Amino acid sequence: MLLMRVCLKCCFLAGWLFASFAPAATFTNPIDSSGQDPWVIQWRGDYYYCWSAGTSIRISRAARLQDIATEPATTIWTAPAGQPYSQNIWAPELHYLQNRWYVYFAADDGANENHRMYVLESTTEDPFSLYTLRGKIYDPADRWAIDGTVLEQAGKLYFIWSGWEANVNTQQNLYIAPMSNPWTISSNRTLISQPLNSWERVGGPPYINEGPQVLKRGTNTFVIYSASGSWTDDYCLGQLRLTGTNVLLPTSWTKLTTPVFAKTAQVFGPGHASFVKSTDQTQDWIVYHAAKYSGAGWNRDVRMQSFSWNANGSPNFGTPVNTNVHLVEPSGSPCGTTYEAETALVNHATIVANTRASNSNKVGLIDFADSYVQFSVNAAKAGQYRLYVRYGAGLGAATHLLSVNGVSAGTVSYAAGAWDDWDFNTNSLVNLQAGTNTIRLTKGSGYAELDFLGVNPGPEWDTDADGLGDTWERTYFDHLYDPAGATTTDTDGDKQSTLQEYIADTNPTNSSSYLGLTGILAAYPNLTVQWRGGILATQFLERSDSLNPNPIWITVFTNLPPTTASVSRNDNPTNRAAVFYRVRASR
């Protein structure tokens, strides 16, 4: 909903276009010039990218999905030498389960036949905290295993992975087994898919089903998996759909007889995907790897594109989009409308290709008295707006002179850093007129490069352009929902209508009800959210950044056991200027 003025180093913004209006920002594939098995998870407004690098596992964080590979990465774990899990670390996945982070990865001792799945556990809720090795995660058969992922279904955990039936590398199948906790499989595995279709058997033997990923929408649950040899152009995605009630029964899973995402005349070997929502939760995106060219084998890069849904509730991934095609960025950019420096009017400066910059370009050599970058910015209404300037200053502190519509608006100051280790200046407030405005950044002292400019969609007093002012926007509310649903009830005294209050449904006959909160027990930013259960059902704490006009609810804590007692959960919703909570009870 709102753009915060702190913690923005992680905020990556996408393509900006220069025109008399504010067109959609764009990006181009690939988003990671070299990579495979991309795993991206969305948490508290940011995207976390997890991958292996040699014998280490790394994580980066970005506010924009297309920037996951350009932000600085943190090594969270390095395999010690001489262990069964010291080599060939493949396809790590980062999962948030039961208030901790877990990383599932495949590894061996240098011999492929010894590949097994392992799990790391974080020490805190911070994805970048220390991790400890919980050990091998395996079923009683303890066969070759890779590409493990977790299915959460009806309040229970299940592990899904790719494995061998016996000890010979002839075929990889998909298996599922129940979990007693995030690091333990509690019973025998069940076979749910074999590579029997011709499009699943290219390049074999071995014949391949691997890379299973869970995709849910509403009441529908899917497993999207990779098929055929990953070293071939024909690597593709297949689909299993949960059509029964017991996930441990093979008959509960129905396989499509055709691939759902496959090669084109220009894109080869698209596979091993993960799935996330856009920032505003209104769009679905697939992140996947593909071969760089026909016959490239395991020389791959990482790409992303949006997808839609079929009338029968299944995903429609379309076809892989060619590289270097401008695609509209995911909706709800956290830094407002963004404008790429290289598409602005550039004078006595140079546009430079740069893989760490948004849209793979930056403007450098802004080195002369007449050097400037000029943006054409549209404002829906007159008012004071906040600017977000993404910059690099590798030779020390620097400044740019700021002007708006030809009038001086002060100086933008940049802290010293490293070239291409992008940072943000968020301190500039400017007065814009309704319609088109000209914002110019001219060389001041020192030397700084520009990646892009961000402008909030609404004036400073109304950061998300929803028509509600700062007094309401910048306060954390404890909404005590009215079970009667009266249309004029102002349950928390903030003088907002039920459009903002989001009246709860506590009808016990409904499959999903909303329970009122009892209190917010601590001040921002360290919040303890407390509520009374009241209904014997699995509960989910959900958070929204806005209640007007159509709230988007994100699950903060899941799978809370049925209870009628008071329940508390800690939440630290960083980078948010307002937050609202509800509790959903599902039977």
Whether the CB-CB separation of 447 and 372 falls below 8 Å is answered with no
- From 32, 121, 210, 449, active-site residue: 210
pLDDT value of residue 275: 98
Q: Which class does domain 470-586 fall in? A: mainly beta
Whether the CB-CB separation of 306 and 325 falls below 8 Å is answered with no
Q: Is the link from the previous residue into 457 a cis peptide, with omega within 30 of 0?
A: no
Q: Tokens 């070997």 sit at which residue?
A: 269
pLDDT value of residue 27: 82
Element (H, E) at 500: helix 498-501
Q: What residues does each domain of the chain span?
A: 26-328, 337-455, 470-586
pLDDT value of residue 394: 92
The CA distance from 579 to 87, in Å, is 44
Which residues on neighbouring strands pair with residue 160, listed in sequence order? 149, 176
The CA distance from 133 to 129, in Å, is 13
CA dihedral 341, 344, 346, 349 (to 10 degrees): 10
Measuring CA to CA, which residue among 368, 381, 371 is closest to residue 347?
371
pLDDT value of residue 381: 86
Whether the CB-CB separation of 12 and 67 falls below 8 Å is answered with yes
- The dihedral sign for the CA sequence 228, 230, 233, 239: positive
- The question of whether 37 is a catalytic residue gets the answer yes
82: Cβ contacts below 8 Å, ≥ 6 apart: none
Residue 86 to residues 57, 77, 389, Cα–Cα distance (Å): 12, 11, 43
Amino acid at 313: G
Tokens matching residue 206: 């071995």
Measuring CA to CA, which residue among 325, 581, 329 is closest to residue 476?
581
Whether the CB-CB separation of 554 and 508 falls below 8 Å is answered with no
Q: How many CB atoms are closer than 10 A to CB 135?
A: 13
| Tens of each residue's pLDDT in the chain, 587 residues | 112 122 222 222 222 222 223 345 678 899 999 999 999 999 877 899 999 999 999 999 887 899 899 888 999 999 999 999 999 999 999 999 988 999 999 999 999 999 999 999 999 888 998 999 999 999 999 999 999 999 999 889 999 999 999 999 999 999 999 999 999 999 999 999 999 999 999 999 999 999 999 999 989 999 999 999 999 999 999 999 999 999 999 999 999 999 999 999 999 999 999 999 987 778 999 999 999 999 999 999 999 999 999 999 999 999 999 998 888 888 877 667 889 999 999 999 999 998 778 878 999 999 999 999 999 999 888 888 888 898 999 999 999 999 999 999 999 999 888 888 777 787 788 999 999 999 999 999 999 999 999 887 777 766 556 554 433 332 222 222 222 333 333 433 433 333 233 323 333 333 444 454 544 444 445 566 666 555 556 677 777 765 555 566 778 776 666 665 666 777 765 555 456 666 666 65
Whether the CB-CB separation of 31 and 83 falls below 8 Å is answered with no
The CA distance from 285 to 43, in Å, is 15
CATH superfamily of 26-328: Glycosyl hydrolase domain; family 43 (2.115.10.20)
- From 37, 46, 93, 139, active-site residue: 37
- The question of whether 152 is a catalytic residue gets the answer no
Residue 271 main-chain phi, psi, to 5 deg: -170, -175
What SS3 string covers 489-525?
Answer: CCCCCCCCCHHHHCCCCCCCCCCEEEECEEEECCCCC
Whether the CB-CB separation of 374 and 438 falls below 8 Å is answered with yes
Element (H, E) at 499: helix 498-501
pTM: 0.69
Tokens matching residue 18: 């220069």
> How many separate helices (H) and strands (E) can be counted in the chain?
2, 42
pLDDT value of residue 250: 97
Residue 470 main-chain phi, psi, to 5 deg: -60, -35
Q: Provide the CATH topology of domain 337-455.
A: Jelly Rolls (2.60.120)
